[in-house]
Structure 1
Amino acid sequence: MSRIANLEQITKADNLNNAYSAVRGGGDEELRNLRAKLVELEAQVVEARVRFTENHPSLLNLIERRDVLRQLYLQKLALVSPNNRAIAPEKVANDQLSQNLTSQLITQKIERSALENKLKTVQVQRAKLQANLVQLPIKQETLNTLVRQRQEAADSLKLLQSKLEEARIAEAQLVSNIRIIAKATVPDTPASPKQSVVLVIASFFGMILTVGVVLLLEVLDNTLRDVSQAEELLKLPLLGVLPRLTATTLKLDSVDSFLNDAGLIEPYRMLLKTLEFRCRENLRLIVVSSALSGEGKSIVVSHLATVSAMLSRRTLIIDADLHKPIQHQLFDLTATPGISEVLEKKSISTGSDTPNSN
């Protein structure tokens, strides 16, 4: 280390790149020639300054040539240095002694760098060896456990082999005492399960399941089967039973066909008489309604009104269904004027005794 420090102090090369640049710059032939020309121009400039003034053309020409040559020298010097970095001209090793000392400095630094790298590698290897040395007792304990298990497995194998050999010897001794008495017969039917028992059990549980399903459906069924069930459920008296109408008997555009059918007239006449009988005063108003549309209230009204008119009573039908009135369709009449016009106090003009409004 002291030798490298002394060489750095003598050569004034603070790092390896500067030392390399100094040797290259001092040994290059072209740079040597440029330095000689530059020294010659410096001498001429000094001599001209002694003879002429500072503004003399000859002096200015020499100074310009010196500056151009110095710039060229610096460019060439930068080309021989690492990474084309410019160095100071005074740090260039011009003579042989300076070049030798700088070369020794470069060699010493390269050797020191190599030794430092080798030292780092040795230190890394040493750290790894120390880490492995710390782990060695743990691995040794695992190895001892595996060796002990291997020994136990080998002992168990030897014991099993001896038992197997004893079993083979005993089997060889018993084989000589065995003889065939009779050949076994193959059964025709399976011993289990018995099909008859399975069939009886399945039939029994099937009947129980069927009865249970029927009882469950009976409990869950809320359909009204007859009139008595409806009276019992609603707690209201029965007024009458109306017949089912076919598609041809729904409209009353041919009233004669309806009046000639006693099977259709009689149920509606009985309903009208029942309503009159149950009414304490003179029956003048009947309201027919339902919870949902499509339950037949319009058909009941039309047929009941027809029977009432047949009994020579003045009958007026008011269809208050503003969403879907159909009374005018049943009697084959015009749709207007209707109840909306009546409520708005518009004039109503009709050409029949039985007015209709929707």
Structure 2
Amino acid sequence: MEFWRYYRVIRRRRWLILLGTLAAVLMVVYWNYTTPTMYIGKTTLMEPKGQTQDGVPLFQSQMMGTMLDPQLQLSNLGNIATSQKVLSNAAQSLAELGLKMDPEDILAATSVHPERDTNILAIEVTLPDEQEAKVAADAIATEFKKTYDELNNQALKDSRNFIEGQINSTRNAMVKAQDALRRYKEQNGVVEINQQLADSVQNLYLAQTNANQAQINHEAAASRAMKAATELAKLPESQIAGTSISRNPIWERLSESLTDLETKKAAMLNGVPGQPRRGPNHPEVVALQAQINDVKDQLSKTKSDYIASTQQAKNPVWQTAYGNWFQAKVEDVATGAQAAAAENVIKKMKSEMSQLPAKEAELAKLQVDLKAATDTYSLMKSKLDEAKIRENQGSSEVALRTIDPAHVTEAHNNGLLKLALALVLAPLMGIGVAFLLHYTDNTVKTAADAEKLLGLPVLTAIPGSKAHSLPRQHCPEIMDVAYQMLTSNLWVATQNQADNGIVMVSAEPDAGRSVNASNLAVALAREGAKVILVDADLRKPTQHLIFGVDNKVGLTNVLSGGATLEDALALTRVQGLLLIPAGPVPDNPVKLLRSPEMKEFVDQVKEFADFVVFDTPAGVTFPDPVLVASQVGSAVVVHSAGRVPRGSEAELRQRLESIGVRLIGAVLNKVRREDSSSFFHYHRSYEGVVMPQLTSGKKAIKSGPRDQA
């Protein structure tokens, strides 16, 4: 049973599914046809392993360092390759070559792929021109290598610049010491230094040399510590390792409240069984809209999600920077202590030398200063040479190496794969849309829907068909079968009832009420019954048009006393069926339908036939159906499938039941084949089988004055 229900849904929306699939396939074909061929310019770079510590190691602890995770390092390299600086420089280089591309365009066309578990990085540029893709890949790789070289060799350059600054000051100190010694000798002549003074001079020289070395180390360590502290201040100490997002319960309650209010508003505007339809300006609808606006305002100010919890973790970059700062700080303190100790030794030795003769002591002091300055200058020169060597060596060691120069390959369009996916996914999406429309569609489609809406048993379901009028057209066999079902159910419902009159009513216009009244009369007549069809629709009569008879004399003439019943009866081409047309449209149909003449007419016409079928106008618009049904006593409700319930059906039923009209059942008109199991099985098993009809030799009506004449 579930499969049958799903089949009906898919069959009903089959054109939507087919058209959606066709549209998707055509879009894919158009996309494949119009998309230009793309080319991928690819170059592969490798980062050298085992990089040395940045800068010139002025002391041993600078040799120690930390290693980054290889995958994290490659990820960082990928970010550098797509940075604004690299792309801007690449755009400038391409512009010089005649290719005008913005950095944003280059970024959109560039992708960087680190090779897992390696130190290899692939740069790909996808462009519609083969040569441009190759040139762009080369330009990005070149600028990336330049930027990478600048970032890695900056510390070496800073170290060399620091030593160059120091060597100038030590050279000036050496020249100053030479001048001071020369002037002292010129002023005082050559002064002889005994062995004791020579030893004191030698010791002071060594102490001065050690102090200078310690001071250099201290300044280098202080510079490193200051730079590390600056970098550390820019980094956050911790970072969010993970977050837990939860749905805001207040937002959920507001959403549920908004859904309920919107549902109530739709029910008021469209109408539901037991509740009349209300207009948009009805006070209750206006008040409900105010509540909806208030809930929407609260909903717009409320976040749908909130962070339930966060997990903090130490920033690995900060930890590395902190380790470097701590190491530099330790060296700073240690070398500062060494420099202070060396200064103390120098002060002590100078105090001892102050006890010597003045000229010898001054000469010794000048010689010590000159030798210390000379040795310090020599030391700084050697450090500068070492820095230059390490800078040149570092540039070659840390430079990115090109494994594969830029080469171009054609990008795969995957046209067949896209087409296959469209053929598979488009029908599935169409089926999903079909079920979405089905479950959001509240129109009456099946007999079960009609029984639930009307509260009446459905006597038959009439299929929708272009040929639907039995008196005028050659209708499909299923149409005859549907009306045979109706006549059989009416026979069962009225066999114990003395009343043979049936009023065809409907709540809304265009439900097929007049056509069903004429078709029911024809079906009853074909089964051998004497049938009179009365067109009681005095608003917009149509039965005379259906049967092709004159409408000059009809029901209005009989009720107004201008004609007799026999004068109003008109023969039809259907044996056993007579028609009483509506006649000229009166100014006040209500006055005629509730007159005593109408009651007398109904009683009289019932005596002439086995069944009398009355056609009436729409019940929600005019009171005519209620007036006619009150005179006749029984009614059949006609409802059209595919309509949204608006509450008019319940209103009509309430009015009919309030005056004691017997509602025999309902006829569901214009039903789709896929919405009726009886239609499905008939078309599958019985369509095309010849169904001979029995003819009746009985007279259509009882003998009356017209026949006697």
Q: Taking structure 2 as the reference length, what is the TM-score of the superposition?
A: 0.21
Indicate the structure with greater strand content: 2
Greater Rg by CA: 1
Kindly indicate whether structure 1 or structure 2 has the higher relative contact order, using CA contacts under 8 Å at least 6 residues apart: 2
Between Structure 1 and Structure 2, the one with more helix by share is 1
